[in-house]
Chain A
């Protein structure tokens, strides 16, 4: 154990961290590990070397997560620590406050270990659009880790993190979790406060945990969830103890397999792995039922109207006036347009322009309003399905990790890689990606469980039961 402290789970770390000496040992182990592997993986943008400062400011006092290192996506505000969304336009932005999730973690004693790379403003599914550098998949360094929380998934998979936070607007926690072989949760919309999460699509965004196993995920979600007066869209619903759901028992659980998800375009190895997982569930005593989510095929179209509309509005604030980068000129309009030209990358511009267009006079009804109506139909699909089943089982991503550069010149093919994850953001239901095997190239495959509103406990129970039967997490990438 002493040599490989960095391999610890969150649960193990919390047990190990009984003294400042143990904290320093774990911090050093993780820092050394990042030093050894991150030149290849490039999951991180910034590391926190100041363990002394942490120890000085954070007495243990029985705090449940005391000293536990958490790696945080670049779009979650950390007081006094640069937060860039991996964009040039936020270079030098030092938040004057903590996001609510960060405040909660600090209150429970956690140590903010690193900032994780991401697609610029979370616009992407491969972590290639970061203004810093791309991130690479620990299982095959020629492949992408997924995105947009690619850094958060890759650092956990590479054991250069104990656990991480990402954000998920259309699959940005789950798709990279799947491609990197870790567990990733997008909670019910409103479950976790968005205060201090730099907004992309405000009606879709949720912060979620990426972890080495299901138990850690339940612990970390419990630590960040809850109502927040600073986020009027956060839900005033009590937070259950998610660790109580960690029982190996799915007898009588009704699991739906949506036939609309097993369509052409899905990698046969991914389909086989998910169908195999369904058989495992049956053997464990669950019942499998074929269901239909008939509007699934419209999800990507709805999403790229709704999400870009919200993004174009949210990103209007980046104009060089208050924070980050400013292009210096003596004319205000020039300052805006030059700052935004030089500060935003290609994909950010593409989405801002698309969102501006669908909201513009003459096109609003045809695009934005229509998309919001179809969103209602997608939501109703889930409401109908959950009358018959307790959880829905499907692939997280139609393929395993693709090659770096493969989809960069074809935005639509990149967007379609989120086809299975988008619907749950549009409907607001929780969804969890769990490792379920490897393809013939040795790349991780993940399945997704989607649940009823605020029914994360049932999803954790189902995920834990499978995980503790199959033990896929024991396999680690060679780095």
Chain B
């Protein structure tokens, strides 16, 4: 298995240094070679498990609850605006 590390890093939104790319590509390939042993098994008629307890879907009433923590959340945020918003760099280009 050959991983395209540049493409995967783009999908994961992580910038990699050139030296890291070589090492991580090698690591991922060797881990995936190890994972390939799963191909020994016949899993055609096996149901996948995503959760171990067979829980029913959990519903609750759609009640409004007061959780007055906005100020505290924003107090430690990296950058905020007007005491109400997280502030980020401009998303839409141009004027």
Footprint of B on A, CB under 8 Å?
Answer: 92-94, 96-97, 189-190, 203, 229, 232-233, 235, 295, 297-298, 300-302, 304-305, 312, 316, 319-326, 329-338, 340-341, 344, 346, 349-350, 352-354, 356-357, 360, 367, 369-377, 379, 411-412, 415, 426-428, 453
Contact = CB atoms under 8 A, between A and B. Distances in A.
Contact of B90 (A305, A332, A354): A332
Contacts of B72: 94, 96
A321 B78 contact: yes
B79 to A, nearest CB: 7
Nearest to B44: A373
Given A190-B53, A371-B38, A353 B24 contact: yes
Contacts of A336: 13
B46 A357 contact: no
Given A302-B38, A375-B48, A370 B43 contact: yes
Contacts of B12: 312, 340, 352-353, 356
A356 B52 contact: no
Contact of A341 (B14, B34, B52): B14
A302 B51 CA distance: 14
Contacts of A337: 13-15
A322 B41 contact: no
Contacts of B66: none
Nearest to A202: B51
B35 interface: yes
A412 B31 contact: yes
B18 interface: no
Contacts of B34: 300-301, 304, 412
Interface string B1-44: 00101001101111111001000100110111011011101010
B51 A412 contact: no
A312 B38 CA distance: 21
Given A321-B78, A332-B91, A377-B46, A353 B9 contact: yes
29 contacts: A96-B72, A96-B73, A97-B69, A233-B55, A297-B37, A298-B38, A301-B37, A305-B35, A321-B88, A324-B78, A326-B78, A326-B79, A329-B89, A332-B89, A332-B90, A332-B91, A340-B14, A341-B15, A341-B16, A353-B8, A353-B14, A357-B3, A367-B35, A370-B39, A373-B47, A373-B49, A374-B38, A379-B49, A428-B53
Contact of A319 (B13, B32, B39): B13
Nearest to A382: B52
B53 A330 contact: no
Contacts of B75: 94
Contact of B53 (A189, A312, A325, A344): A189
Contact of B8 (A96, A295, A357): A357
A361 B7 CA distance: 12
A326 B86 CA distance: 12
A344 B14 contact: yes
Given A97-B69, A374-B46, 11 more contacts: A295-B41, A301-B38, A321-B78, A323-B77, A329-B89, A331-B89, A335-B88, A350-B27, A354-B28, A356-B12, A427-B52
A250 to B, nearest CB: 27
B41 to A, nearest CB: 6
A320 B14 CA distance: 12
A298 B41 contact: yes
Contacts of A352: 12, 14
Contacts of A412: 30-31, 34
A321 B87 CA distance: 8
A92 B35 contact: no
Contacts of B90: 330, 332
A427 B43 CA distance: 17
Contacts of B17: 341
B35 to A, nearest CB: 5
B61 to A, nearest CB: 11
